[in-house]
Chains A and B, each alone.
Chain A
Amino acid sequence: MIVADKKLELVTLTERQKKARRNRSIAIGIALAALVVIFYAVTIVRFGHHGASLTSSGLLGGG
């Protein structure tokens, strides 16, 4: 009951801290996006090869 009446105490970030956090967030975002692109592209390359070899061997109905 007492807690409900109290205003929640928040930490106020300085401009420098806000700027640093934004800078880190952008870097993490870029790194994650790059990771997604890399894994996607390599998967296509690897499965592309694998698919091609399966097709040429007749296992996927080709050749």
Chain B
Amino acid sequence: MALADDRLMEDAGFRISEATAGDFFALLKPRVMSLVVFTAFVGLVAAPVSVNPLIAMVAILAIAIGAGASGALNMWYDADIDAVMTRTANRPVPAGRVSPGEALGFGLVLSALSVMTLGVLVNWLSASLLAFTIFFYAVVYTMWLKRWTPQNIVIGGAAGAIPPVIGWAAVTGSVSLESVILFLIIFLWTPPHFWALALFKSDDYARAGIPMMPNVAGQASTRRQIFAYALILAPVGVLPWALGYTTAGYGVVSAVLGLGFVWYAWKVLRMRDDDRAMKPAKALFAYSLLYLFAIFAVYLVDCVVGRALMMGGV
């Protein structure tokens, strides 16, 4: 009886949802969200102004939900290409667990809620930046750049790089050069990170018709561009120390991490055209995740320890 009801409803264009809270949580792209939360937290702690811990927690929560909302909007719009890629085929929308309409509604409601919460409870500069980030990721990157140009993740990477600036703005009510450098580190890290992935997942991207760099410019060109970005990223990672924002400890660790990045990118550059296993590209992809986490963690520790030493009069 119930099954017959189901069929009648579906024929009539209705569908009773079987989506669980877990499916909706998956729409938020929790792994991406964790990186956003961490980098926003670093921006928030690095700011030279103290803030009530509860306000700080609310700011991080709102930024996390805003990032999740843009992920849900991305999954709504990209359901067609997610369905043909092995990496994304099991996402809630292409797998049929959440309807596109539900994903869209969920994304829009959370977008509005996160921006309003940040604006009302923290400040409107950070809320404006969060709104811009959601718009940039969902509309500029997802709807426009991703299917149009191999520079998609270069330009679109700006959306993923803004969280530390939002964290900084949430505390200070302004944007400074220090937070812009944190933005730059993530912005320059994004192309080599995603192009390393695109190298060993190029078949997937080709099947979905996404113009990723290896599919458009070829693998050799992509490997050269990865190396070029690594050469720019390594010194930019050291900039916070060079400009006097951190101690030499950060300078040393970030320089070593940067050299490691260049080394892995060099191995990708030297990768042979007929290398099917693509171990250097996989190694760079894994190392790039470690690099970003490590450099922000060291920056965070440096800020906290530096402040503690100053308060202690050392």
Contact = CB atoms under 8 A, between A and B. Distances in A.
11 contacts: A11-B9, A12-B2, A12-B5, A17-B16, A17-B18, A20-B18, A23-B22, A24-B21, A42-B54, A45-B52, A46-B121
Interface of A: 11-14, 16-17, 20-21, 23-24, 26-27, 35, 38-39, 41-42, 45-46, 49
Contacts of A35: 117
B49 to A, nearest CB: 14
B183 to A, nearest CB: 27
Interface of B: 1-3, 5-6, 9, 16-22, 24, 52, 54-55, 58, 61, 117, 121
B54 A14 contact: no
Nearest to A27: B21
Contacts of B21: 23-24, 26-27
A41 B54 contact: yes
Nearest to B23: A20
Contacts of A11: 5, 9, 16
Closest 7 CB pairs of A and B: A27-B21, A12-B2, A20-B18, A23-B20, A42-B121, A14-B2, A11-B5
A16 B5 contact: no
B2 A42 contact: no
A11 B58 CA distance: 41
Please classify the interface of chain B as helix (H, G, I), strand (E, B), loop, or mixed, using the class held by over half of its residues: helix
A42 B55 CA distance: 7
Contacts of B24: 24, 27
A49 B121 CA distance: 13
Contacts of B61: 38
B21 to A, nearest CB: 4
A4 B287 CA distance: 70
A3 to B, nearest CB: 20
A11 B15 CA distance: 11
Contacts of A26: 21
Contacts of A16: 18
Most buried by B among A12, A20, A39: A20
Contacts of A39: 121
A45 B122 CA distance: 12
Contacts of A20: 17-20
Given A38-B58, A49-B52, 20 more contacts: A11-B5, A12-B1, A12-B5, A14-B2, A14-B6, A16-B18, A17-B16, A17-B17, A20-B17, A23-B21, A23-B22, A24-B19, A24-B20, A24-B24, A26-B21, A27-B24, A38-B121, A42-B54, A45-B52, A46-B55
Contacts of B54: 41-42, 45
A6 to B, nearest CB: 17
Nearest to A44: B54
A39 B54 CA distance: 11
Nearest to B20: A23
A42 B20 contact: no
Contacts of B121: 38-39, 42, 46
Nearest to B25: A27
A47 B186 CA distance: 37
Nearest to A43: B121
A44 B21 CA distance: 31
